[in-house]
């Protein structure tokens, strides 16, 4: 019952934020002009964008399948793809993407993947995902300082804050995965604390179940730690995944007939937006992502092109992904059944 209320609450929050964001976008803009610019884009660009956002999701499913295979779980590749769509859907509609992994664990558990093992796998996926952001942020800071001074000087605080928060998050999660005793201590301490303040009833069986789960957690972490090549491979795939996603803005740039900057610069600027909003407590960075886009790209998409460019970029890379992921989440719910 609580989970249903939580889902409804998140949905209401998402819709309200969606409405406020689009009100802010359209209140000072002529819809006819925006529509005219968007309609001038050739359909082939939308098709390429559709392929790109699906490739973005499939990259994660490849990493999940690869790790589960190493851990001797025979899960079909198609189900790993469904896990990824489920994760992206719930991440897109919940603050700080907090709903993504619990939803993925639910469907992984339906495939008889132990929850503690699934937790390790998804934590490593998250570490890789965030480490790539830190890596790209470092490259931009070192090699593209001109972009910082020319295009993001007004929002540079968010860029540095995003890097700092992601570094902290990656370091903490690495400790939890590769120092599993710490994870056990934190979890058991949390349970005992909740029991003391009477939020949970004291039950020995609960502690026993957690201790058994932590044994599986330790085992999975140890196995993955031995496969360093797989971690490097996962990093490369995550890097490709991020670059595909960020390249949607370059696709829009070309679709609107512009060529003043190269692909690397456009992708770097879009990376700055993602780094800045990744750790903020908003579904998909909604609202602030649009604001940062307008601030950073105003010198590039000049005149009447700025708002259509933002709508196309966010429409393909985020809103279309929400719709596709919602459909695939329904498919996952109907097709992934618990096996005896």
Quote the pTM value. Answer: 0.83
Q: How confident is the model at residue 116 (pLDDT cuts 50, 70, 90)?
A: confident
What tokens appear for 186 in the block? Answer: 């934190």
Q: Per-residue pLDDT for 4 more than 70?
A: no
DSSP conformation letters of 226-263: H-HHHHHHHHHHHHHHHHHHHHHHHHHHHHTT--SS-H
Residue 6: C-alpha distances to residues 41, 125, 254 (Å): 39, 25, 41
DSSP conformation letters of 284-316: GGTTHHHHHHHHHSTTTS-GGGHHHHHHHHHII
pLDDT digit string, tens, across residues 6-17: 555 555 655 665
Torsion of CA 276, 282, 286, 288, to 10 degrees: -40
227: left (phi over 0), alpha (psi -120 to 50) or beta: beta
Residue 123: C-alpha distances to residues 178, 217, 280, 309 (Å): 11, 11, 19, 34
The candidate with the shortest Cα–Cα distance to 21, out of 223, 317, 320, 286, is 286
The candidate with the shortest Cα–Cα distance to 89, out of 80, 100, 81, 104, is 100
Q: How confident is the model at residue 1 (pLDDT cuts 50, 70, 90)?
A: very low
pLDDT digit string, tens, across residues 287-307: 688 889 989 999 999 878 888
Q: d(Cα 284, Cα 278) in Å, to the nearest integer?
A: 8
Q: d(Cα 71, Cα 123) in Å, to the nearest integer?
A: 15
**Lowest-pLDDT range of 131-145, 194-208, 290-304:** 194-208
User: What percentage of the chain has pLDDT greater than the value 70?
Assistant: 76
92 in helix, strand or coil?
helix
Domain spans, the chain: 46-324
């Amino acid at each position: 019952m609580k989970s249903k209320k939580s889902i409804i609450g998140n949905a209401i929050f998402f819709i309200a934020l969606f409405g406020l964001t689009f009100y802010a976008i359209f209140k000072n803009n002529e819809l006819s002009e925006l529509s005219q610019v968007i309609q001038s884009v050739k359909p082939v660009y939308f098709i390429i964008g559709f392929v790109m956002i699906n490739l973005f999701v499939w990259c994660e499913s490849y990493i999940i399948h690869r790790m589960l295979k190493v851990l001797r779980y025979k899960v079909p590749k198609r189900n790993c793809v469904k896990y990824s769509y489920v994760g992206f859907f719930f991440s897109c509609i919940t603050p700080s993407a907090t709903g993504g992994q619990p939803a993925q664990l639910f469907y992984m558990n339906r495939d008889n993947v132990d929850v503690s093992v699934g937790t390790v796998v998804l934590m490593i996926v998250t570490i890789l995902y965030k480490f790539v952001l830190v890596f790209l942020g470092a490259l931009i800071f070192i090699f593209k300082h001109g972009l910082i001074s020319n295009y993001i000087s007004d929002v540079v605080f968010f860029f540095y804050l995003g890097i700092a928060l992601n570094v902290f998050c990656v370091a903490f999660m690495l400790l939890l995965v590769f120092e599993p005793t710490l994870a056990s201590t934190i979890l058991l301490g949390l349970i005992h604390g909740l029991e003391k303040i009477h939020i949970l009833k004291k039950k020995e069986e609960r502690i026993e179940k957690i201790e058994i789960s932590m044994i599986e957690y330790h085992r999975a972490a140890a196995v993955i730690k031995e496969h360093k090549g797989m971690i490097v491979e996962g990093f490369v795939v995550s890097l490709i995944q991020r670059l595909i996603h960020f390249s949607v803005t370059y696709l829009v740039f070309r679709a609107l007939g512009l060529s003043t900057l190269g692909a690397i610069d456009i992708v770097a600027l879009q990376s700055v937006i993602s780094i800045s909003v990744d750790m903020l407590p908003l579904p998909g960075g909604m609202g602030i992502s649009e604001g940062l886009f307008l601030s950073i790209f105003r010198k590039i998409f000049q005149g009447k092109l700025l708002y259509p460019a933002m709508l196309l970029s966010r429409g393909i890379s985020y809103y279309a992904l929400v719709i596709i992921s919602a459909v695939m989440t329904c498919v996952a719910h109907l097709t992934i059944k618990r096996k005896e």
